[in-house]
């Protein structure tokens, strides 16, 4: 697996409550647009933007190590465990526009298994940051592999990118698909195919 370790500064440190500098930056942005920042519709927008962006980028304050819980693999389960259709919202770091969709995460446990919600948490933690889709998949895979002590991890992400839909080539129905395979999945094509087959199953429960 290609390792993409980013030097992550912590933007939320600069986004402490009532960050007036941030709010002023939004006001300046309005002025650059030729807007009146004091008109009724937008005068409270800098504050609202601060609240919204702190929520959307709240993953910087969280770590998978802290939120992870492992249980003994009492049945010696050796097959793939998958949590699929994990919806996510993230922010494209190139255009500061949202991208969103579904992540499917599968892993083969070792002596320990992860609480199933922890796979969703991994997706949440890393998607609530400035991201690109490839890095998001890599970071989720790396977290489950290392912290989850897995023997192999597969992550497939289907994302719709507003920077692709609302601007640029304006392809609003295009979906970007990325996949990451690590550990046992990396070289075993049969295992990769099994994962793909299992996440494609669309039977409702």
Of 1 and 163, nearer to Zn ion (C-beta) is 163
Give the DSSP H or E segment for 126.
Answer: helix 117-127
List the one residue from 78, 94, 111, 167 that touches Zn ion (CB under 5 A): 94
Q: In the window 150-189, what residues touch Zn ion (CB under 5 A)?
A: 163
Residue 72: other Cβ atoms inside 10 A: 9
End-to-end CA distance of the chain: 33
Of 16 and 174, nearer to Zn ion (C-beta) is 174
Tokens of 146: 């290392």
List the one residue from 91, 92, 123, 150 that touches Zn ion (CB under 5 A): 92
Give the DSSP H or E segment for 156.
Answer: strand 152-161
Of 111 and 167, nearer to Zn ion (C-beta) is 167
96 φψ region: left (φ > 0), alpha (ψ -120 to 50), beta (else): left
Of 79 and 93, nearer to Zn ion (C-beta) is 93
Residues paired with residue 152 on neighbouring β-strands, in sequence order: 108, 183
Least distance in angstroms from the C-beta of 161 to Zn ion: 6
Q: Rounded distance, CA 204 to CA 33, Å?
A: 48
Choose one: 64-72, 85-93, 138-146, 148-156; the region binding Zn ion (CB under 5 A). Answer: 85-93
Q: How many residues bind Zn ion (CB under 5 A)?
A: 4
Least distance in angstroms from the C-beta of 174 to Zn ion: 13
Of 139 and 182, nearer to Zn ion (C-beta) is 139
Of 61 and 93, nearer to Zn ion (C-beta) is 93
Could you give the angle at which helices 45-56 and 20-33 cross, rounded to 10 degrees? Answer: 120
Least distance in angstroms from the C-beta of 91 to Zn ion: 9
List the one residue from 47, 95, 160, 184 that touches Zn ion (CB under 5 A): 95
Our CA dihedral for 127, 132, 136, 137, rounded to 10 degrees, sits at 140
Residue nearest to Zn ion (CB): 163
Query: Is 118 within 8 Å of 69 (Cβ atoms)?
Result: yes
Binding positions for Zn ion, rule: CB under 5 A: 92, 94-95, 163
């Amino acid at each position: 697996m290609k390792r993409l370790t980013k030097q992550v500064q912590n933007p939320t440190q600069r986004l402490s409550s009532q960050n007036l500098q941030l709010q002023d930056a939004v006001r300046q942005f309005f002025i650059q647009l030729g807007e009146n920042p004091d008109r009724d519709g937008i005068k409270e927008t800098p504050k609202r933007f601060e609240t919204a962006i702190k929520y959307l980028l709240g993953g910087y304050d969280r770590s998978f190590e802290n939120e992870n819980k492992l249980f003994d693999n009492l049945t010696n389960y050796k097959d793939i465990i998958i949590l699929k259709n994990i919806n996510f919202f993230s922010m494209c770091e190139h255009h500061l526009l949202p991208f969103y969709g579904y992540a499917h995460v599968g892993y083969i446990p070792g002596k320990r298994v992860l609480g199933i919600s922890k796979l969703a948490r991994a997706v949440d933690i890393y998607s609530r940051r400035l991201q690109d889709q490839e890095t998001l998949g890599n970071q989720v895979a790396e977290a489950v592999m290392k912290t989850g002590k897995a023997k192999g991890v597969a992550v497939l992400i289907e994302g719709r990118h507003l920077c692709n839909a609302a601007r640029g080539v304006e392809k609003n129905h295009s979906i970007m698909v990325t996949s990451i395979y690590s550990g046992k999945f990396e070289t075993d094509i049969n295992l990769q195919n099994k994962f793909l087959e299992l996440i494609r199953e669309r039977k409702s429960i």
